[in-house]
Amino acid sequence: MNIPNAEQFWQFSEQHYARPGVAEACLQLQDDYHANVNLLLLLLMLEERGLSLEPTHFLPILRQRAGLFKQWRQLRRQLKDKLSTDDYLALLRHELELESWQQQELLQVLNQSPPNTDGGGLIAYLTFLQVPDAPLWQLRLAT
């Protein structure tokens, strides 16, 4: 199986997130449905490789870290207009370090529960989050 390593996952995330409309879709899913952007990107990457894993395998680690990420994101958003550009960019860099750390944790889960070739991990996650029109969202993310 072609399970990604940390560098491959990070590069995929940067490239895919930069595609038109993907960042907006990810952030809307994050804000409106509490989706984890790193998990969305990992499930997309797996699907591109013909792999899938039931998203429930990732939920314990995501729940364990949810408070940390939520508080950091709120702090960054609150301080955005109050900080100098350099200080804000320092906050943003730290948040990216947290994202990289989370990606490594997700990959650890993936290595403990090897994926299958059934497909459907992303749509299962969107359905779990009760996202209406999950197939449409899947298309928006996969552009």
* pLDDT surpassing 90 at residue 74: no
Distance CA 46, CA 31 (A): 23
DSSP SS3 for 115: coil
Model pLDDT for residues 115-138, shown as the tens digit of each residue = 888 778 999 999 999 999 999 999
Structure pTM? 0.89
Four-CA torsion 37, 43, 47, 51, nearest 10 degrees: 160
Q: Where is mean pLDDT largest: 35-44, 82-91, 113-122? A: 35-44
Q: What is the pLDDT of residues 13-31, one digit of tens each?
A: 999 999 999 999 999 999 9
